[in-house]
C-alpha cells in the first residue's frame, strides 16, 4: 500500500511474527539499540517454532568446539555442495559463513545458551557428519523467565489438545522461544503486541516505510524508519493457496498452529513488489492420521513396513522425514498409505509421533489404525490387495534374515541406524513383521511448514522480479523462499537458517552510535 496518511506510532524496526526467525530479527535489532516493535497475530508467541524439537542446524560454531565435535564451515560448504550442487550458492555460503558469528553473538547474552546434540545429517554425502551439526537450547527454568513464560506457545502435545502444560523448565521449542524472548526483553528496546495482525506494508517512492496492523483497538499505521522484517511463517494452513500453488498435502495435515501461517506476510510482500519462488515446496514429513482428521509428525521408524494402495513397499522406511515426504508426494497411490507392524512393539507404533497424545485404542476406535490376527484379515480391513500385502511382508521378512534390504537399502546409512534397536538380528533396522496380531496405521503427507515465499538476497532483503532489492523490506524464516530449495540438509535447517538470515538483516540496519557493539 502506498499513501501519505499520518502515522499512529513510530519505531525504527517493525517485526511481523514471533517464531525463532522473527524473534532473532527483533532481538538482533533491539540489541543494536534500535527501537523495535514485534507484532504477533495470535495470543501466544512462538508459532510453529514453539512446537519444534528445537534442533538448529548451525555448522562450525563454538558449540561444536565445546563438545569436541569436529566440524568447520569449509566442511559444511563441501557437504552442501555435494547435496545441492550449484543451487543457491551465494545464499547458502552466506548462511554457513554467518552461523558461527550468530551463535557467538547469541551466547554472549546470558539469556541464550545452546548445547550440541547428536543427530545425523540427512544425506549420506561427502563431508556429511554421522553425528550431525545440530544444537539445541538449554532448558530454561521458569524462575529465570518469570511471567514471560505464560506468553510462550505450549509444546504441540498440550497446545493442540488444550491440556495444561506441566510444571518445570521450558524445553525444546519452548526453550528456544523463551530464551530469545527473554533476551529481547532484557535489551529494553523491544515492544511486543499480541493479537495484532498485519494488514499491509506501506511503501513510499519504492521504499517500505512502515506497516498497517489491526487489533481489537482498531487499525493503526506504524512507521518503521529503518525497516520492516516479515517473519510470520508460510502459508501451509491456507488450503486455497496450497491449491493455487500446487503444494502437495493438506492444510488439515500440517503442523502449523491453529490460526497461524496463512500467507498474509508473503502476500503483503508481493503487493509491495516482491517476487516469490518455490511455492510448491515444503518441509515435508510423514503424517500419522489422527482421529480428529489432522496428522501427527512421524519419524524415527525402527520396525514395520510401509505399503501403498497396491500393497507394495515403495521406500526405505527409515529415510529422513523430508525425503520420505517427497517419496509420498511423488505418487497418488501413496496418500494415504499404510504402515504395517506387529505385536512385538506392545501395540505401539515403532516410531516417534508428535503430538503423541492419542492412544492405540483411540486410533483403533476411530479407524486410523486397524488390528487383525492374520495378514489376510489385515488386508481386508485396510482394503489392500491380500496377495500383494502378504508377498511384500514375506519378501521384507527375508531381508531381516540376511540383514540386507535388496529393494531399498534400509539400514545402510547413519541416519537409518540412529533410531535402530541394536538388539534385533543381523540388521538392527530390519525387524521382521511376523508376530500376530498385526497392525496397520493410516499415513498421510504432512509438513513442518511451507518453504516457498518471498525471494531474498544474502541479507534477507526482499527482491523484485528484476533482482533489485526493495529498500526497507526484509523476509525471514518461512515467509522467505528457503536457500535449500528442494533439499533438507540436516535437523534444524529451518530454524538455523531462519535465525541466521534474520541476524544478517538486522546487521544492515542503521544503529544508534551508542548501541552495543556486535
Q: What global pTM score does this model have?
A: 0.96
Work out the burial of residue 2: count CB atoms within 10 Å of its CB; fewer than 13 is exposed, 13-18 middle, 19 or more buried: middle
Residue pair 412/295 in contact by the 8 Å Cβ criterion: no
Q: 369: pLDDT confidence band, cut at 50, 70 and 90?
A: very high
- At 59, is the secondary structure helix, strand, or coil? coil
- Beta partners for 289? 295
φ and ψ at residue 139, rounded to 5 degrees = -50, 145
Instruction: For domain 291-444, give the CATH number.
Output: 3.90.700.10
- Beta partners for 276? 454
Inter-axis angle of helices 20-31 and 172-187, nearest 10: 20
Whether 9-280+451-507 and 291-444 share one fold: the answer is no
Other residues' Cβ atoms within 10 Å of the Cβ of residue 280: 15
Q: Closest Cα partner for 390 from 314, 466, 305, 453? A: 305
Other residues' Cβ atoms within 10 Å of the Cβ of residue 512: 12
The pLDDT tens digits for 236-276 are: 999 999 999 999 999 999 999 999 999 999 999 999 999 99
- Beta partners for 469? 463
Give the whole-angstrom CA distance, residue 377 versus residue 383. 10
Considering the chain, what is the average pLDDT of its residues?
96
- At 465, is the secondary structure helix, strand, or coil? coil
The pLDDT tens digits for 148-194 are: 999 999 999 999 988 888 889 999 999 999 999 999 999 999 999 99
- 1 pLDDT above the threshold of 80: no
Q: Which position has the higher pLDDT, 163 or 28?
A: 28
Residues 454-461 have a mean pLDDT of 99
Q: 4: pLDDT confidence band, cut at 50, 70 and 90?
A: low
- 106 pLDDT above the threshold of 80: yes
Residue-by-residue DSSP string for 280-313: T-EEEEEEEE-TTS-EEEEE---S-EEE-TTS-B
**Domain ranges (residues) in the chain:** 9-280+451-507, 291-444
The fold of the 9-280+451-507 domain, in CATH, is FAD/NAD(P)-binding domain (3.50.50)
Residue-level pLDDT at 513: 61
Residue pair 55/491 in contact by the 8 Å Cβ criterion: yes
> Which residue has 555435494 as its cell numbers?
82
DSSP designation for 484: T
- 138 pLDDT above the threshold of 70: yes
Residue-level pLDDT at 337: 98
> Which residue has 523430508 as its cell numbers?
322
Report how far Cα 296 is from the mean position of its chain's Cα atoms: 14
Report how far Cα 374 is from the mean position of its chain's Cα atoms: 39
User: Would you put residue 195 in left (φ > 0), alpha (ψ -120 to 50) or beta?
Assistant: left
Residues 92-103 have a mean pLDDT of 99
491's grid cell: 535437523
Residue-level pLDDT at 518: 47
Q: Closest Cα partner for 433 from 295, 306, 272, 262? A: 306
User: Would you put residue 145 in left (φ > 0), alpha (ψ -120 to 50) or beta?
Assistant: alpha
Residue pair 498/231 in contact by the 8 Å Cβ criterion: yes
Give the whole-angstrom CA distance, residue 214 versus residue 208. 18
> Which residue has 482394503 as its cell numbers?
383
Q: Closest Cα partner for 460 from 442, 472, 447? A: 472
- Beta partners for 279? none
Q: 424: pLDDT confidence band, cut at 50, 70 and 90?
A: confident
Between the alpha carbon of residue 513 and those of residues 427, 508, 517, the distances in Å are: 62, 14, 9
Tell me what percent of the residues of the chain surpass a pLDDT of 70.
98
Amino acid at each position: 500500500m502506498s499513501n501519505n496518511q499520518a502515522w499512529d506510532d513510530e519505531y525504527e524496526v517493525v517485526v511481523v511474527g514471533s517464531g525463532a526467525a522473527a524473534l532473532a530479527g527483533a532481538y538482533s535489532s533491539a540489541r543494536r539499540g534500535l527501537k523495535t516493535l514485534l507484532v504477533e497475530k495470535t495470543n501466544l508467541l512462538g508459532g510453529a517454532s514453539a512446537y519444534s524439537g528445537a534442533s538448529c542446524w548451525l555448522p562450525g560454531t563454538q558449540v561444536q568446539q565445546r563438545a569436541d565435535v569436529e566440524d568447520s564451515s569449509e566442511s559444511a560448504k563441501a557437504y552442501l555442495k555435494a547435496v545441492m550442487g550449484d543451487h543457491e550458492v551465494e545464499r547458502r555460503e552466506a548462511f554457513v559463513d554467518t552461523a558461527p558469528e550468530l551463535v557467538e553473538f547469541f551466547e554472549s547474552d546470558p539469556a541464550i545458551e545452546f548445547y550440541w546434540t547428536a543427530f545425523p545429517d540427512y544425506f549420506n554425502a561427502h563431508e556429511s557428519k554421522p553425528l550431525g551439526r545440530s544444537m539445541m537450547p538449554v532448558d530454561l527454568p521458569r524462575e529465570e523467565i518469570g511471567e514471560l513464560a505464560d506468553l510462550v506457545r505450549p509444546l504441540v502435545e498440550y497446545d493442540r489438545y488444550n491440556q495444561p502444560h506441566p510444571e518445570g523448565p521450558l524445553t525444546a521449542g519452548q526453550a528456544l522461544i523463551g530464551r530469545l524472548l527473554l533476551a529481547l526483553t532484557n535489551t529494553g528496546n523491544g515492544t511486543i503486541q499480541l493479537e495484532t495482525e498485519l494488514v499491509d506494508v506501506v511503501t513510499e517512492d519504492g521504499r517500505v516505510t512502515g506497516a498497517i496492523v489491526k487489533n481489537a483497538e482498531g487499525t493503526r499505521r506504524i512507521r518503521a524508519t529503518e525497516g520492516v522484517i516479515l517473519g510470520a511463517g508460510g502459508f501451509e494452513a491456507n488450503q486455497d493457496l496450497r491449491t493455487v500453488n500446487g503444494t502437495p498435502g493438506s492444510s488439515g495435515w500440517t503442523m502449523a498452529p491453529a490460526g497461524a501461517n496463512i500467507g498474509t506476510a508473503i502476500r503483503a510482500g508481493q503487493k509491495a513488489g516482491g517476487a516469490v519462488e518455490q511455492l510448491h515446496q515444503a518441509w515435508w514429513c510423514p503424517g500419522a492420521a489422527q482421529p480428529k482428521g489432522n496428522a501427527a509428525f512421524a519419524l524415527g521408524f525402527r520396525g514395520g513396513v510401509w505399503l501403498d494402495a497396491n500393497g507394495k513397499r515403495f521406500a526405505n522406511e527409515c529415510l529422513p522425514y523430508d525425503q520420505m515426504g517427497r517419496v509420498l508426494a511423488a505418487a497418488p497411490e501413496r496418500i494415504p498409505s499404510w504402515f504395517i507392524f506387529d505385536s512385538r512393539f506392545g501395540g505401539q507404533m515403532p516410531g516417534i509421533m508428535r503430538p503423541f497424545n492419542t492412544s492405540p485404542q483411540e486410533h483403533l476406535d476411530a479407524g486410523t489404525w486397524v488390528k487383525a490376527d492374520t495378514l489376510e484379515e489385515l488386508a481386508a480391513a485396510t482394503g489392500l490387495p491380500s496377495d500383494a500385502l502378504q508377498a511384500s511382508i514375506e519378501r521384507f521378512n527375508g531381508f531381516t534374515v540376511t540383514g540386507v534390504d535388496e529393494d531399498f537399502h534400509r539400514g545402510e546409512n547413519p541416519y537409518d541406524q540412529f533410531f535402530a534397536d541394536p538388539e534385533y538380528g543381523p540388521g538392527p533396522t530390519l525387524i521382521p513383521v511376523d508376530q500376530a496380531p498385526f497392525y496397520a496405521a493410516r499415513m498421510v503427507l504432512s509438513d513442518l511448514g511451507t518453504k516457498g515465499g518471498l525471494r531474498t538476497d544474502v541479507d534477507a532483503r526482499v527482491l523484485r522480479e528484476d533482482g533489485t532489492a526493495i529498500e526497507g523490506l526484509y523476509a525471514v524464516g518461512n515467509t522467505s523462499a528457503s536457500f535449500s530449495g528442494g533439499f533438507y540438509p540436516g535437523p534444524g535447517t529451518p530454524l538455523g537458517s531462519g535465525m541466521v538470515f534474520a541476524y544478517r538483516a538486522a546487521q544492515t540496519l542503521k544503529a544508534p552510535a551508542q548501541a552495543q557493539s556486535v
